[in-house]
Structure 1
């Protein structure tokens, strides 16, 4: 059974939580960026990193992988994008704790931009309905 295991970082949410997806069809899993499709070895290969790097992100509470029934770490595409961003920052000389903080702040900024865009749409819709009433 697939239950996304997402975590809230103390400084903000990086991994967005999904509800239980017990009824997810096989085809839907291919489209679900949060589906934990990759074991730690495959994920590390995809990132040109080591499994230890991925474990360090878990220990830093940046992302916590889903665990299989056997206790093995499983990563989603969403989590691998986060890990890739951290890897890029580390390659530029940024310390791990700073890289994690940067990623959290980037996520919070993106969420704020989405909220602002949504609120602007609401305001624009209200302005149009007010103009129609006049």
Structure 2
């Protein structure tokens, strides 16, 4: 992922980097993973705005699935006979 691409997805509000004291952009590993996924989509011909939206939706779906799994685990531990 190039600096220009990172700036472009920042402008599209997919990621917001932190800034160092000197004003340099600092990206987390999570942000770089998101940027890599957006880069894959753009390389496949998806417009950058659409790629950013797809990545956001994929991330939201993953989070919803994680929460659902947590609820199921919690419900199973409260009422183990109900999951059988």
* TM-score of the superposed pair, with normalisation by structure 2: 0.90
1:36 aligns to what?
Answer: none
Higher helix proportion: 2
- Output aligned runs, 1:22-41, within 5 Å: none
Give the Cα separation in 2 of the matches to 1:113 and 1:68. 34
1:83 aligns to what?
Answer: 35
Give yes or no for the alignment of 1:68 onto 2:20. Answer: yes
1:122 aligns to what?
Answer: 74
CA RMSD in angstroms comes to 1.5
After superposition, what is the alpha-carbon deviation per residue over 1:16-49, rounded to whole angstroms, capped at 9, x for unaligned?
xxxxxxxxxxxxxxxxxxxxxxxxxxxxxxx3x3
Task: Give the count of matched residue pairs.
Answer: 82
Give the Cα separation in 1 of the matches to 2:27 and 2:71. 33
What SS class does the counterpart of residue 51 from structure 2 fall into? Answer: helix
2:50 aligns to what?
Answer: 98
Give yes or no for the alignment of 1:55 onto 2:7. Answer: yes
What SS class does the counterpart of residue 22 from structure 2 fall into? Answer: coil
Where do 5+ consecutive residues of structure 2 fail to align?
A: none
Where do 5+ consecutive residues of structure 1 fail to align?
A: 1-46
* TM-score of the superposed pair, with normalisation by structure 1: 0.58
